[in-house]
Chains A and B, each alone.
Chain A
Amino acid sequence: MSLLAPLALLGAAIVGPLIIAMYLLKLRREQHTVSSTFLWQKMVRDVEANAPWQRLRRNWLLLLQLLILALLVLALARPFFRTAGIAGRNLIVIIDRSASMGATDVGQTRLAAAKSQAIALVDQLPDGGRATVIAAGGQMEVPAASTTDRRQLRDAINGIEVRFGGSDLSPALTLAAALTSREAESEVAIISDGNVTVPTDLQVPATVRYFPIGLQDANIAVSALNLQPSAAGQTLFAQATNYGNAESTRRMDIYLDGALFNAYNLTLGPGQADSKTIEIPAQVRVVEARLDESTGDALPLDDQAWAVSNAGDNTQVRIVGGGNRFLETALALSPANFQITTVPTSTSTFTETAAQVPMTILDGVVPVELPPGNLFFIAPPRSTEFFSVTGEVEFPALRPAAGEEPLLRGVSLSDVSVRRAVTVAPGSWARTVVEGDGGPVLLAGERDGRRVVVLTFDIHNSDLPLQIAFPLLISNIANYLVPGSGADAFQLIPGEVLEVQIDASITEVRITKPSGEIVAATLEAGKALFVDTGALGPYIVEQFQGNELVGRTRYAVNLFSADESKIQPRAELAVTQASGLQQAETSDQNRVGRQEIWRWLAAAALAVLVIEWLVYQRNGLAFLRDRLRRRAA
Chain B
Amino acid sequence: MTTATPQLFDAAFVRKLDRMSLLMKRAMAGDLQGERRSPRRGSSVEFSDYRHYTSGDDFRQIDWNMYARMERFFLKLFVAEEELTVHLLIDNTASMDWGEPNKLQYARRTAGALGYIALASLDRVTVTAFANEGGKQLPGVRGRRGAIPLFDFLQKLPAGRGGSFVESCRRYARTARNAGPLILCSDLMDTQWEEALRALTVRPFEITLIHTLAPQEIRPQLDGDFRLVDAEGGDPIEITADLESLRRYEQNLQQWRGEIESFCSGRGITYLFADTSSPVEEFVLSTLRRRGVLR
Spell out A's residues near B (CB within 8 Å): 26-27, 29-44, 46-47, 58, 618-619, 622-623, 626
Asked if B225 and A35 make an inter-chain contact with CB atoms under 8 angstroms apart, the answer reads: no
> In whole angstroms, what is the CA distance A26 to B243 when docked?
20
Asked if B237 and A39 make an inter-chain contact with CB atoms under 8 angstroms apart, the answer reads: no
Asked if A47 and B245 make an inter-chain contact with CB atoms under 8 angstroms apart, the answer reads: yes
A to B contact number (C-beta, < 8 Å): 95
Say if the beta carbon of B139 comes within 8 Å of chain A.
no
- A-B contacts, 22 listed (Cβ < 8 Å): A29-B225, A29-B227, A31-B227, A32-B228, A32-B229, A33-B98, A34-B217, A35-B96, A35-B187, A35-B214, A37-B229, A37-B230, A37-B234, A37-B236, A38-B191, A39-B256, A41-B237, A42-B256, A43-B248, A46-B252, A58-B240, A618-B242
Asked if A35 and B243 make an inter-chain contact with CB atoms under 8 angstroms apart, the answer reads: no
> In whole angstroms, what is the CA distance A29 to B226 when docked?
5
Closest-by-CB residue of B relative to A38 is B189
Asked if B217 and A35 make an inter-chain contact with CB atoms under 8 angstroms apart, the answer reads: yes
Say if the beta carbon of B168 comes within 8 Å of chain A.
no
> In whole angstroms, what is the CA distance A276 to B222 when docked?
94
Asked if A30 and B224 make an inter-chain contact with CB atoms under 8 angstroms apart, the answer reads: yes
Closest-by-CB residue of A relative to B252 is A42
Chain B positions within 8 Å of A27 at CB level = 225
The 8 closest A-B pairs by CB, nearest first: A36-B189, A35-B98, A29-B227, A35-B95, A37-B230, A36-B95, A622-B243, A29-B225
Closest-by-CB residue of A relative to B232 is A36
> In whole angstroms, what is the CA distance A42 to B193 when docked?
15
The main secondary structure of chain A at its interface with chain B is helix
> In whole angstroms, what is the CA distance A35 to B190 when docked?
11
Asked if A36 and B231 make an inter-chain contact with CB atoms under 8 angstroms apart, the answer reads: yes
Say if the beta carbon of B99 comes within 8 Å of chain A.
yes
Given contacts A26-B225, A32-B226, A34-B229, 10 further A-B pairs with CB under 8 A are A27-B225, A29-B225, A29-B226, A31-B227, A33-B230, A37-B229, A39-B217, A43-B249, A619-B223, A626-B243
CB distance from B173 to the nearest CB of A (A): 23
Given A27-B225, A32-B228, check contact A43 B189 (CB 8 Å): no
Asked if A34 and B253 make an inter-chain contact with CB atoms under 8 angstroms apart, the answer reads: no
Say if the beta carbon of B235 comes within 8 Å of chain A.
yes
Say if the beta carbon of B244 comes within 8 Å of chain A.
yes
Asked if A619 and B96 make an inter-chain contact with CB atoms under 8 angstroms apart, the answer reads: no
Spell out B's residues near A (CB within 8 Å): 94-96, 98-99, 103, 187, 189-191, 214, 217, 220, 222-232, 234-240, 242-245, 248-249, 252-253, 256
CB distance from A382 to the nearest CB of B (A): 115
Chain A positions within 8 Å of B95 at CB level = 35-36
CB distance from B83 to the nearest CB of A (A): 36
> In whole angstroms, what is the CA distance A47 to B222 when docked?
17
Asked if B187 and A36 make an inter-chain contact with CB atoms under 8 angstroms apart, the answer reads: yes
Chain B positions within 8 Å of A626 at CB level = 243
Chain A positions within 8 Å of B237 at CB level = 37, 40-41, 44
> In whole angstroms, what is the CA distance A622 to B230 when docked?
29
Asked if A40 and B239 make an inter-chain contact with CB atoms under 8 angstroms apart, the answer reads: yes
Asked if A43 and B245 make an inter-chain contact with CB atoms under 8 angstroms apart, the answer reads: yes
CB distance from B92 to the nearest CB of A (A): 13
Asked if B227 and A36 make an inter-chain contact with CB atoms under 8 angstroms apart, the answer reads: no
Given A619-B242, A622-B244, check contact A40 B228 (CB 8 Å): yes
Closest-by-CB residue of B relative to A47 is B245
CB distance from B121 to the nearest CB of A (A): 34
> In whole angstroms, what is the CA distance A31 to B226 when docked?
6
CB distance from A41 to the nearest CB of B (A): 6
Closest-by-CB residue of B relative to A46 is B248
Contact partner of A35 (CB less than 8 A), chosen from B223, B231, B252, is B231
Chain B positions within 8 Å of A618 at CB level = 242
Closest-by-CB residue of B relative to A34 is B228
Closest-by-CB residue of B relative to A621 is B243
> In whole angstroms, what is the CA distance A47 to B249 when docked?
10
Asked if B243 and A39 make an inter-chain contact with CB atoms under 8 angstroms apart, the answer reads: no
> In whole angstroms, what is the CA distance A268 to B95 when docked?
103
Chain B positions within 8 Å of A44 at CB level = 237, 239
Given A39-B249, A43-B249, check contact A619 B187 (CB 8 Å): no
Asked if A30 and B225 make an inter-chain contact with CB atoms under 8 angstroms apart, the answer reads: yes
Chain B positions within 8 Å of A36 at CB level = 95, 187, 189-190, 230-232, 234
Asked if B253 and A623 make an inter-chain contact with CB atoms under 8 angstroms apart, the answer reads: no
> In whole angstroms, what is the CA distance A30 to B227 when docked?
6
Given A42-B252, A43-B248, check contact A37 B235 (CB 8 Å): yes
Chain B positions within 8 Å of A35 at CB level = 94-96, 98-99, 103, 187, 189, 214, 217, 231
CB distance from A56 to the nearest CB of B (A): 13
Asked if B252 and A37 make an inter-chain contact with CB atoms under 8 angstroms apart, the answer reads: no
Given A38-B191, A40-B237, A619-B223, check contact A31 B229 (CB 8 Å): yes
> In whole angstroms, what is the CA distance A169 to B180 when docked?
116
Closest-by-CB residue of A relative to B226 is A32
> In whole angstroms, what is the CA distance A30 to B239 when docked?
10
Asked if B227 and A47 make an inter-chain contact with CB atoms under 8 angstroms apart, the answer reads: no
> In whole angstroms, what is the CA distance A38 to B245 when docked?
15
Given A42-B252, A43-B239, A44-B239, check contact A37 B244 (CB 8 Å): no
> In whole angstroms, what is the CA distance A43 to B235 when docked?
15
Chain A positions within 8 Å of B217 at CB level = 34-35, 39
> In whole angstroms, what is the CA distance A58 to B225 when docked?
10
Chain B positions within 8 Å of A41 at CB level = 237
